[in-house]
Amino acid sequence: MNINDLRCQIDAIDLKLLALLKERAMIVQQIGQEKTRLSLPVYDSTREQAIFLRLSQNNSGPLSNVAIQTVFRSVIQVCTELQKEENNRSEF
């Protein structure tokens, strides 16, 4: 397989990742609405640590657990901001 074929595979995977991130974001918005309704804080460090633990327990490489945690820390941060935005919209 040549580099262009491999890059095409990466492009296809990127589109799948984008679709999954969009799906995750929509669910995060629903969670944000529930947190607002229940007067719960947006950020939950216990949940974040549970996510990292679950991911590291299921990670068989080639990415290190630190790399996986770095990627998901970014995803969680963006999703937390999305929940804050949802929370602010719900207050009006």
pLDDT (tens digit, 9 = 90+) per residue, 31-88? 999 999 999 999 999 999 999 999 999 999 999 999 999 999 999 999 999 998 877 7
* Residue reference for tokens 């669910």: 27
DSSP 3-state assignment of 64? coil
**pLDDT attached to residue 91:** 62
Reduced to 3 states, what is the DSSP secondary structure of residue 84? Answer: helix
d(CA 78, CA 80): 5
Reported as a pLDDT band with limits 50, 70 and 90, residue 92 is low
Report the predicted TM-score, pTM, of the whole model to 2 decimal places: 0.86
Distance of CA 11 to the CA centre of its chain: 20
CA nearest neighbour of 31 among 88, 80, 69, 89: 80
pLDDT value at residue 35? 92
Domains and CATH numbers, the chain: 3-90 (1.20.59.10)
